[in-house]
Homo-oligomer: A and B are copies of this chain.
Amino acid sequence: MSNTILPPSGEQKAIRWYPPSYDIRIETVPIPQILHPDDAIVKVQFAALCGSDLHIYRGHGGVNKDHTCGHEFIGAVVALGHSYGGDNTGRPSLYSTLKIGDKVVSPFTVNCGECHACRLGYTGRCPEGFLFGSPALEGGQAQYVRVPKGGGTLFNLSDPSTWSSNLSNKEKEKALTTLSDSSLLMLADILPTGVFAALQVINHPKVAPIITGKPWPMCFSKDDAPSSNQISLTDEDKILTVAVIGLGPVGICATVSMLDLLATRQIPYKFVAVDPLESRREKAAAVYNTIDTACKANGEFAVCSIDEAKDKVKEWTGGVGCTAVLEVVGNTSALTLSYDLIRAFGVIVSVGVHGEPLLPFTGRQAYNKNVSFDFGRCPARAMFPPAFDLLGDDISRRASRRFSDVFKVKRQDVFGGIGQPASLIDRVVDFSQAVDIYRAFDKGEVGKVIFDPWRA
């Protein structure tokens, strides 16, 4: 039995980019059709504008072919290829269970879910992993979008039994009834990217002495041997000093994720949130104000301009530097600042999208600070479950089962609202405003913007 239903035929509205740069057009184009048995066609309910869209917008991406923009979308399945339904033993379960009408969110890249990279959870580097909104694959800022390898790529929000998580199915269902579609859209990219950045920090071997309270290399042993360290760590030594560079939407997600991990694991922290733009610093401060007081007692938080950040880290660490820096911008000046702020034996986690310049570090600089770097794209599908848990936590688990039952970040204040001081999302607009919105977003005049492709 096949679920195949033809998608609507005819035309649709789409936001399209033209080379070489800054050329956004609202056009009428054909509704995409099934091209491969694994394809799904999604009717887009909301599509968001993302900071990494600006690389192509500005002409920095080396892209020279016009295409429909956008890699963040949420919507409903309107057509499925022949692969869906019937016997799909050994394939991702969505090939068996996904149905017309199901509400889905997509990661920003395709991932087959079946190859070596996907099996390891490195879904962002699936060899079939084309980026939506690129010359290789039409994007989601349209009324309809074709999703290749839909059974491996999509998340079925209509059936929370299709992913395992720290939440029970009942808790997931409860969260899904309450969460707004605009907040669920953050699962396409920026929230998993924030969780990815924070998880890379917390699991890095160079952070292990702070987490375990045991020195290198004892921090890797379950027991106390081997060690030659004779002076124990002090309470001060066990403070995780962390900087987030870039307080745009991804930076806010990284900040919330990092604060959540610090609170959940009760790790004392000093947190420096850095951005040259005052409006973004105000947003970060408002987000921190949504944190429970009990958590705040465990650490300190400062929003800083670039110069203020250098002074603050110096003051807080006696000149030693940050244990970890989360670089969420994606250019050489952000990387240089990361190096300035990092301690010897620190880790710089960079989730920014970088371009052609060489990394701005000499070999000697890298050696002299014993610095570690983690670069690259979030494997968004693999990170979906912890990102969903982060989003749904305060709805379903005010009295948490596994972790601290302290109510931490009031996530609904961050992800649920629109246009409020602590809201991640600034506004919802229709396609007719796209040209102006791209221009304003490029200049940092608006925050996260969502397009409603059906609003006149």
Query: A residues bordering B, Cβ < 8 Å?
Result: 90-93, 113-114, 116-122, 124-125, 155, 162-166, 199-200, 203-206, 208-210, 215-220, 224-234, 236-237, 318, 320, 330-332, 335, 344-345, 350, 352-364, 366-377, 379, 381-386, 388-389
Pairwise interchain contact A362-B359, C-beta atoms closer than 8 A: yes
* Given A163-B228, A367-B376, A382-B215 contact (CB < 8 Å): yes
Pairwise interchain contact B364-A369, C-beta atoms closer than 8 A: no
Q: Which B residues are CB-close (under 8 A) to A203? A: 205, 208, 220
With both chains docked as a complex, state the minimum distance between the C-beta of A63 and any C-beta of chain B, in angstroms.
13
CB<8 Å pairs between A and B, sample of 5: A120-B209, A121-B219, A164-B226, A357-B362, A372-B373
**Taking CB as reference atom, which chain B residue is nearest A233?**
B119
With both chains docked as a complex, state the minimum distance between the C-beta of A233 and any C-beta of chain B, in angstroms.
5
When chains A and B are docked, how far (Å) is the Cα of A227 from the Cα of B382? Answer: 7
Q: Which B residues are CB-close (under 8 A) to A371? A: 375-376
Most chain B CB atoms below 10 A, which of A155, A219, A382:
A382
Q: Which B residues are CB-close (under 8 A) to A155? A: 228
Pairwise interchain contact B370-A366, C-beta atoms closer than 8 A: no
Most chain B CB atoms below 10 A, which of A113, A164, A377:
A164
When chains A and B are docked, how far (Å) is the Cα of A206 from the Cα of B125? Answer: 13
Pairwise interchain contact B119-A231, C-beta atoms closer than 8 A: yes
Pairwise interchain contact A369-B373, C-beta atoms closer than 8 A: no
CB-CB nearest 7 A-B residue pairs: A354-B363, A370-B376, A121-B216, A121-B215, A226-B385, A366-B375, A125-B344
Choice from B163, B356, B370, B377 contacting A226 with Cβ under 8 Å: B163
**Taking CB as reference atom, which chain B residue is nearest A224?**
B164
With both chains docked as a complex, state the minimum distance between the C-beta of A112 and any C-beta of chain B, in angstroms.
9
* Given A216-B122, A362-B357, A363-B355, A372-B370 contact (CB < 8 Å): no
Pairwise interchain contact B164-A227, C-beta atoms closer than 8 A: yes
Given contacts A119-B229, A125-B370, list 6 more A-B pairs with CB under 8 A.
A163-B228, A199-B220, A203-B205, A353-B367, A355-B363, A370-B375
Most chain B CB atoms below 10 A, which of A125, A225, A350:
A225
With both chains docked as a complex, state the minimum distance between the C-beta of A386 and any C-beta of chain B, in angstroms.
5
Chain multiplicity (copies): 2
When chains A and B are docked, how far (Å) is the Cα of A237 from the Cα of B121? Answer: 11
Pairwise interchain contact A354-B382, C-beta atoms closer than 8 A: no
Pairwise interchain contact A330-B200, C-beta atoms closer than 8 A: no
When chains A and B are docked, how far (Å) is the Cα of A360 from the Cα of B382? Answer: 30
Pairwise interchain contact A120-B362, C-beta atoms closer than 8 A: no
When chains A and B are docked, how far (Å) is the Cα of A119 from the Cα of B233? Answer: 5
Pairwise interchain contact A231-B118, C-beta atoms closer than 8 A: yes
Q: Which B residues are CB-close (under 8 A) to A332? A: 363
**Taking CB as reference atom, which chain B residue is nearest A234?**
B119
Pairwise interchain contact A225-B119, C-beta atoms closer than 8 A: no
With both chains docked as a complex, state the minimum distance between the C-beta of A441 and any C-beta of chain B, in angstroms.
21
Choice from B164, B361, B368, B372 contacting A372 with Cβ under 8 Å: B372
With both chains docked as a complex, state the minimum distance between the C-beta of A223 and any C-beta of chain B, in angstroms.
9
Pairwise interchain contact B358-A358, C-beta atoms closer than 8 A: yes
With both chains docked as a complex, state the minimum distance between the C-beta of A118 and any C-beta of chain B, in angstroms.
7
When chains A and B are docked, how far (Å) is the Cα of A262 from the Cα of B389? Answer: 35
Choice from B118, B364, B370 contacting A229 with Cβ under 8 Å: B118
Pairwise interchain contact B370-A364, C-beta atoms closer than 8 A: no
Choice from B120, B216, B363 contacting A335 with Cβ under 8 Å: B363
**Taking CB as reference atom, which chain B residue is nearest A92?**
B230
Pairwise interchain contact A217-B121, C-beta atoms closer than 8 A: yes
Q: Which B residues are CB-close (under 8 A) to A374? A: 205-206, 372
**Taking CB as reference atom, which chain B residue is nearest A221?**
B166
With both chains docked as a complex, state the minimum distance between the C-beta of A368 and any C-beta of chain B, in angstroms.
8
**Taking CB as reference atom, which chain B residue is nearest A375?**
B366
Pairwise interchain contact B228-A164, C-beta atoms closer than 8 A: yes
**Taking CB as reference atom, which chain B residue is nearest A361?**
B359
Q: Which B residues are CB-close (under 8 A) to A234? A: 119
* Given A356-B362, A357-B362, A370-B124, A345-B117 contact (CB < 8 Å): yes
